[in-house]
Amino acid sequence: MAEAAFRPPRRKRRVFECYQAPFPVGAGGGDFRMCRADMVNNSVVVRSPEDVERLYNKGYFGKGILSRSRPVYSISDPSLVSKWQGTNLNMPIITSKKYQQRVQWAKSALQEQGFDSCSVTKILENYTRPLEFPFLEKENTELSRQSSIDTGNMVTSSPEPQKEVCQKASAEGDLATDPVVALGTEEQQPAVVKEAAQASCQKHGSHVHCGCKAKGGPEQESCNVAKSRERAPEYVLVQEEEEGSLCLEEGSAHEQEKFVKKEKLVCRRNPFRIFEYLQLSLEEAFFLVYALGCLTVYYGEEPLTILKLWEIFSEVKPSFKTTYMAYHYFRSKGWVPKVGLKYGTDLLLYRKGPPFYHASYSVIAELVDDNFEGSLRRPLSWMSLSGLNRTTVNASKELMLCYLIKPSDMTEEEMATPECLKRIKVQELIVTRWVSSRERSEQDDL
Amino acid sequence: MEAGCSRRLRRNRAPRRSCGQKEFAPDGSAEQDERLRLCLEEQWRQLAEERVERPENLVKAVWKPEQGIVELESPAGKFWHTMGFSERGKQCLLPEEALYLLECGSLQLFYKDVPMSVQEAYEILLSQEAMSLLHYQVFSHLKQLGYIVLRFNPSTVLSSCERQLNLESRCKSSGKHHHKRRRSSSPGSREKKHKVSEDLPKAEGTCEKGGHDCGELSCVPLDEKPLSEQLKELDTGNGEEQSVTSNSVPLDTGRKNVPGPSWSLGTGDQKASSTGTHAPRWDFTTIFLPNVAPDQPCIHLPSPDNKLLPENVPGREVDAASWCRRVNQKQEKLLQKEREQQEKESKYKSSINFDREVRCCINWQEYKALLRWRSQQRVWRQPPHLWGQAVTPLLQPEEATSFAAVRQQISVLQPSHILDGASRLQEDLESIKIDFNVYQADAVAKFKKTNPGKPYVRMCVQSFDEQVPSLRALKQVTYQSGDVPVVFALADHGEIAFYSLKEFKLPVDANY
C-alpha cells in the first residue's frame, strides 16, 4: 500500500508581507492580549482596529468585510493618491463626486431620522465645511495615532455596537440629545458620523439585522462608552476644482479652456463613514477561544463561555462540530485553514498563510463512527468526485478527504462539549488520478 | 473472415477521431456540414471494413459454458506468455482473455462447431458474474496499453509477516482458479505472528499493519522533522523519500524528552554540576569578580585573596583606569540599516538590564525563577467566563513559552492510519472486491505466469454512478491488497478513468 507523496507548497511569486507569528498569543507569555468579538446575526465580528490587526496579522484569522481578505478598506482613491503624491498628508483622497455622494447619503440618513430639511442642510453645511490645514495639523498631533490608523492600509472600524440602531426608539433617543450636544461643543462630536454609522449599518443589511435582539439598557451604556472612544471624525481630502479656473482666457480656443481646470485638495470631514470589521468564521472564532484562549465572544455585553459557544455554533451550523475538528487538527499541525467555498470543499490549507504560498490542499471533512461509516455530509459519487478532482487539480491543489473517526461509545452528552476532540482520530486521504497510458510522465504516481 | 481471402493484412487502425480544427458549435455553414459528413463517412468506412486474417494464423478455441472457460484446440501463440493457464493437460483461457484475443484477431472461437462473431462473443462470454462488460472494458483498456492483467486471487496476497520471511518464492500463485486457499506459512509460524503482535505495546496507530506487526520496527514512526528539513530532503532527494510521509506523530503522544543524564543532578545547582558530585571548592559569594564594562566601570581592583592564587603567583591591587582608556571604548558605529532597525526596535523593545529586579539576579537560575514568579503574577486576569468554567481553554498562558509548545498544547486529535482496525473488518463479506492484478509492461520479458510476483497495482472496477467507497470499504480493500496500491477503475461507456485514494499524513509545519 503506497502512501501519497507530500508535495512541497508552491511559494507565491510576489510576497508583500512579513510573517509575524502563527498565533496571536505571544511566545514566552509576554504578549498576551484578550481580543473581543461580538456575535452579530449568527456571525462573529471583530470591531476594534487593534484586535483586527492582531488577529489577522498573527495567523490570518478572519476576513475583512469590505475587502478580499485582509481588511484594507480605505475610502481613498488610489489613482488620486498617486496623482497627488507630492502632498504629504496622511489622509485619504477622494473625488468631489464621491464626496458629494456621501453628503447625499448623510442627508438622507438625517432626513430619515426626522430632521426637517432646513436643519439637515445646516448640519451638513457646518460639518462638511472645508478645514484649514494648520487646523488639521493641530488636530493631527492629538489624533495622529487615530488618523494614521484610519488612513493608509489600515483598518477603520468603530467599536460602537451597531445593532443598537435596530431599535428606532433607542436611536431616536440618542439623537435627541446628540445634535444639541454636538453642535454646541468644540469637539464637534460627530453626530453626523454617529448617525452616519447608524445609516451605514442600515446599508450593511446583511450585517446588522433587525432580527437580533437589542437590549436597551446595556447598549445605551455601551454606545456612550463607544462614543467617547471614537470621537475623531474622518478627514478626507477632496479633489475639487478651483473657483475661477473656468474663466475664459483671451485668445485661447474655446475648447481648450475646458481642459484647463486647476484642481486642489480641500480637507473636509467625511459625513458618512463606513467601518470595516473583521469577520471570523465559526471555526476560527472557536479556535481562538478554546484552543488559545485569546478571544472572548460577546453577545451584547455578555461574554460567552466555551460550552455555550460550542452549543450556539452547533445550532447555527449543524455540521460545525465536524468542520471544527478538522480545522483544529490542521491548525495544530501548523497549517492555516481558510474557507474552501471557492473550490466546493470545506477548507483550503495554506502553509504559513495566504500571502506566502498558494493553497496546497482542498479538504473535505467527514465524521464517521468506529465502523468507519457514517452519514456523509457530502455523499460523493465517482462522477462528482472526478469533477471535484478536476477543478482542484486545475488550481494546482490536491484533494484531501479528512475522516474524523469518533468512537462508537461516544454519547451525545460527550459530543456536547469540545472535550470530545481528545477522543477523535483523524484519517487523511489524498485523491489522485492515475493515468494509465504509457506516456505518463511521473513514474512515481503510485 | 473467409478462407482463401486475398492476403491483405491490414493493421487495425481506429478511425481518426479528429480531422483538423475542432468544431465547437454548429455554424450552419455548408463547409462545416461537408467536413462533418466526410468525417462520419470515414468512420463508417473504417468500421465497415472487413477484418482479414490468415486462417492458418488463427488459434482455434472452443467455449465451454459449463466451466466458463475457453479451451484451445490448436497450440497457443505468443500470447501464451502472459495469458492462459493449463488444466487437465489442455491449454485454456479465461473468458475475458479469449474475448480480447478474438477482438485482436488472434483467435477463432467456436461454440457447437460454429464460429462466434464478436458480438456473440460479447454476449455470451460476459454473461457471468465474475466478468461483466465493465470489467472487460477495463481489462481490454489495460491490455491494449501493454499491461499484463490477471485476475485477483485473495489467497495469493502475502501478509507483511510472510513477506518479511520471504515466503514469496514458496507461494505458488499459479492458480487463477486455485480455489483452495493456500497458506504458505506453517501453522507454527502463524502462532508466532500472533504472539508477537500481542507483545507489542499499543502504540501509535501508524504502526499497525492489519493487526500483526511482527516486531517490524521499521514502521515505528519517525520523529517529526521540521518542514524545512523535509523540504530540503525533497529538494535533494527528488521526492522519493518516503520518510517524509510517515512521520508527524504529534508530540502529545506522551513522549516527553528525557533530559540527558549528565544534567539531571538536582536542580542544576551550578556549583555541583561543574565539579560532579563532590563538594564545591569555591564560594562564589565571597569571590569578587569586577565588572569593567563601559557602563559600570569598576576601576579600582582590590588585591585578590591569596587562597585563590597559585603558590608562586603574587597578587596586588590595580588601578585599571589606564587600561580602561586603552580598551576600545569607542561607540560602535552602526550601518544605516542597523541604525534604522535599532530605532524601530527601540520603540517596542527596552533593554532587559534596565529592569531593577533583573539586575538583582546574579545567575540564570535566579533569573528564571523571577520569570516564573512574574508569569504567575501576570496582569492578564484569567477571565472567569473562560477559566472558571467546566471547559477551559487548551492553552495555559504560562505554558506558551514557544510556538512549538503552543502547538503541543493544542494538539489533541489523534492520527489514524488507513490500516487501523482494518483487520477486524475482514469478516464483512459485503466489501468491495478487487478484480485484477496488473503488472507493468516492461516486466513482460521476465514475467512468469506460474509466479508473477508482486503486481504493480490492483484494480477495483466500479461504475461511474456508484458512490465513492466509504472509509470502511476503503480500509477493507487496502488491507486485502497487502502492500500493493489499489486503484479504482471507472468505466463510463468505454471511457475509463482511474482514481486512487491514498493514505496521507499531513506533515507538521514547524518553521517557527
Q: Do B52 and B126 sit in the same domain of this protein? A: yes
List residues bridging with A162 in a β-sheet. Answer: none
Residue-level pLDDT at A32: 80
The reply to whether B153 falls in a domain is yes
Nearest to B504 among A290, A325, A430 (CB): A430
Q: Do A269 and A353 sit in the same domain of this protein? A: no
A326: confidence class by pLDDT, cuts 50, 70, 90: very high
B121: confidence class by pLDDT, cuts 50, 70, 90: very high
Q: CB–CB of A29 and B502 under 8 A?
A: no
The reply to whether A2 falls in a domain is no
**Least reliable range by pLDDT among A120-134, A334-348, B59-73, B170-184:** B170-184
User: Residue B511 above 80 pLDDT?
Assistant: no
Q: Do A425 and A306 sit in the same domain of this protein? A: no
The reply to whether B196 falls in a domain is no
CATH number of the domain enclosing B411: 3.40.1350.10
Q: Do B56 and B150 sit in the same domain of this protein? A: no
Q: Do A440 and A430 sit in the same domain of this protein? A: yes
Average pLDDT over residues A315-334: 95
**Nearest chain B CA: its distance from A352 CA (Å):** 8
Average pLDDT over residues B499-508: 93
Residue-level pLDDT at A181: 27
**Least reliable range by pLDDT among A421-435, B249-263, B277-291:** B249-263
CA pair distance A45, A280, nearest whole angstrom: 6
What pTM value is reported for the model?
Answer: 0.65
The reply to whether B11 falls in a domain is no
**DSSP secondary structure of B42-68:** HHHHHHHPPP---GGGSEEEEEETTTT
Q: What sign for the dihedral angle of Cα A150, A154, A157, A159?
A: negative
CATH number of the domain enclosing A290: 3.40.1170.20
Q: Do A377 and A424 sit in the same domain of this protein? A: yes
**Nearest chain A CA: its distance from B145 CA (Å):** 6
Residue-level pLDDT at A207: 36
Residues in chain A closer than 8 A to B502 (CB atoms) = 2-4, 429-430, 432
Residues in chain A closer than 8 A to B208 (CB atoms) = none
Q: What is the percent of chain A where pLDDT is above 70?
A: 70
CATH number of the domain enclosing A350: 3.40.1350.10
In the listed set B130, B152, B173, which residue is the last one of a domain according to the structure?
Answer: B130
Tell me if residue B8 falls in helix, strand or coil: coil
Q: Do A91 and A58 sit in the same domain of this protein? A: no
Q: Do B455 and B497 sit in the same domain of this protein? A: yes
User: Residue B486 above 50 pLDDT?
Assistant: yes
**Nearest chain A CA: its distance from B100 CA (Å):** 18
Q: CB–CB of B507 and A428 under 8 A?
A: no
Nearest to B416 among A2, A8, A426 (CB): A426
**DSSP secondary structure of B222-245:** PPP--HHHHHHHHHHHTT--GGGT
**CB neighbours of residue B362 within 10 Å:** 10
The reply to whether A398 falls in a domain is yes
What is chain A's alpha carbon radius of gyration, rounded to the nearest angstrom?
A: 27
Q: Do A114 and A238 sit in the same domain of this protein? A: yes
Query: In degrees, to the nearest 5, what angle opens at C-alpha B104 toward C-alphas B101 and B105?
Result: 90
**Nearest chain A CA: its distance from B234 CA (Å):** 8
Q: CB–CB of A8 and B234 under 8 A?
A: yes
Residue-level pLDDT at B50: 80
Query: In degrees, to the nearest 5, what angle opens at C-alpha A58 toward C-alphas A53 and A63?
Result: 55
- Residue in A closest to B390 by C-alpha: A307
The reply to whether B199 falls in a domain is no
**Nearest chain B CA: its distance from A75 CA (Å):** 29
What the block records as the C-alpha cell of B264 is 539531571
Q: How many CB pairs under 8 A join A and B?
A: 273
Q: Do A308 and A342 sit in the same domain of this protein? A: no
Q: Do A312 and A427 sit in the same domain of this protein? A: no
Q: What does the pLDDT look like over A400-419, one tens digit per residue? A: 999 999 998 999 999 999 99
Segment of A123-127, A221-225, B176-180 carrying the highest mean pLDDT: A123-127
B306 vs A25, more confident: A25
- Residue in A closest to B209 by C-alpha: A1
B350: confidence class by pLDDT, cuts 50, 70, 90: low
Residues in chain A closer than 8 A to B456 (CB atoms) = 446
**Least reliable range by pLDDT among A132-146, B299-313, B325-339, B457-471:** A132-146
Average pLDDT over residues B81-91: 89
Q: CB–CB of A421 and B465 under 8 A?
A: no
A291 vs A192, more confident: A291
Residue-level pLDDT at B297: 62
In the listed set B84, B110, B130, which residue is the last one of a domain according to the structure?
Answer: B130
User: Residue B283 above 80 pLDDT?
Assistant: no
The reply to whether A39 falls in a domain is yes
- Residue in A closest to B244 by C-alpha: A6
Q: Do B80 and B150 sit in the same domain of this protein? A: no
Average pLDDT of chain A is 75
Q: What does the pLDDT look like over B378-421, one tens digit per residue? A: 545 578 788 888 888 998 877 778 888 888 889 999 999 998 88
Interface test with A, best of B463, B499, B508, B511 (most A CBs within 10 A): B499
What is chain B's alpha carbon radius of gyration, rounded to the nearest angstrom?
A: 39
**Nearest chain A CA: its distance from B87 CA (Å):** 32
User: Residue B503 above 90 pLDDT?
Assistant: yes
In the listed set B87, B109, B130, which residue is the last one of a domain according to the structure?
Answer: B130
Residue-level pLDDT at A302: 84
Q: CB–CB of A289 and B420 under 8 A?
A: no
B77: confidence class by pLDDT, cuts 50, 70, 90: confident
Q: Do A292 and A376 sit in the same domain of this protein? A: no
| H-helix segments, A188-268 | 191-203, 216-229, 254-259
- Residue in A closest to B144 by C-alpha: A437
Q: What does the pLDDT look like over B130-167, one tens digit per residue? A: 788 999 999 999 999 989 999 998 877 777 667 677 66
Q: CB–CB of A290 and B391 under 8 A?
A: yes
Q: Do B54 and B152 sit in the same domain of this protein? A: no
The reply to whether B94 falls in a domain is yes
**Least reliable range by pLDDT among A111-125, A229-243, B275-289:** B275-289
Average pLDDT over residues A385-391: 94
The reply to whether A53 falls in a domain is yes
User: Residue B473 above 50 pLDDT?
Assistant: yes
Q: Do B409 and B421 sit in the same domain of this protein? A: yes
CA pair distance A208, A184, nearest whole angstrom: 31
Q: What does the pLDDT look like over A200-258, one tens digit per residue? A: 344 433 333 333 333 333 333 333 334 433 556 788 888 888 765 444 445 444 555 45
List residues bridging with A297 in a β-sheet. Answer: A37
Nearest to A381 among B146, B466, B502 (CB): B466
Residue owning grid cell 485661447: A252
**DSSP secondary structure of B459-492:** EEEEETTSBPPPHHHHHHHHHHHTTS-EEEEEEE
Residues of A tagged active-site = 350, 358, 397
Q: Do A266 and A118 sit in the same domain of this protein? A: yes
Q: What does the pLDDT look like over A147-169, one tens digit per residue? A: 333 333 333 333 333 333 333 33
Domain encompassing residue B45: 29-130
Domain encompassing residue A429: 318-445
The reply to whether A165 falls in a domain is no
User: Residue B126 above 80 pLDDT?
Assistant: yes
Q: Do B114 and B141 sit in the same domain of this protein? A: no
Residue-level pLDDT at B264: 35
Q: Do B481 and B460 sit in the same domain of this protein? A: yes
Q: CB–CB of B467 and A328 under 8 A?
A: no
Question: By the 8 A CB rule, do A296 and A34 touch?
Answer: yes
CA pair distance A345, A343, nearest whole angstrom: 6
Q: Do A123 and A267 sit in the same domain of this protein? A: yes
Q: Do A125 and A269 sit in the same domain of this protein? A: yes
CA pair distance B161, B269, nearest whole angstrom: 51
| Strand A347-351 to A335-339 pairing | antiparallel
**DSSP-assigned letter for residue B397:** G
Residue owning grid cell 475610502: A75
The reply to whether B437 falls in a domain is yes
Residue-level pLDDT at B36: 86
Q: Do B435 and B503 sit in the same domain of this protein? A: yes
The reply to whether A221 falls in a domain is no
B86 vs A189, more confident: B86
The reply to whether B203 falls in a domain is no
B300: confidence class by pLDDT, cuts 50, 70, 90: confident
User: Residue B229 above 90 pLDDT?
Assistant: no
CA pair distance B329, A396, nearest whole angstrom: 58
Q: How many domains does chain A have?
A: 3
Residues in chain A closer than 8 A to B478 (CB atoms) = 1
Q: CB–CB of B470 and A330 under 8 A?
A: no
A172: confidence class by pLDDT, cuts 50, 70, 90: very low
CATH number of the domain enclosing B84: 3.40.1170.20
Q: How many domains does chain B have?
A: 2
Q: CB–CB of B500 and A334 under 8 A?
A: no
Q: Do B418 and B459 sit in the same domain of this protein? A: yes
Residue-level pLDDT at B187: 44
The reply to whether B226 falls in a domain is no
Residue B215 falls in which region: left (phi positive, over 0), alpha (psi -120 to 50) or beta: left
Q: CB–CB of A426 and B415 under 8 A?
A: yes
List residues bridging with A56 in a β-sheet. Answer: none
Q: Do B112 and B155 sit in the same domain of this protein? A: no
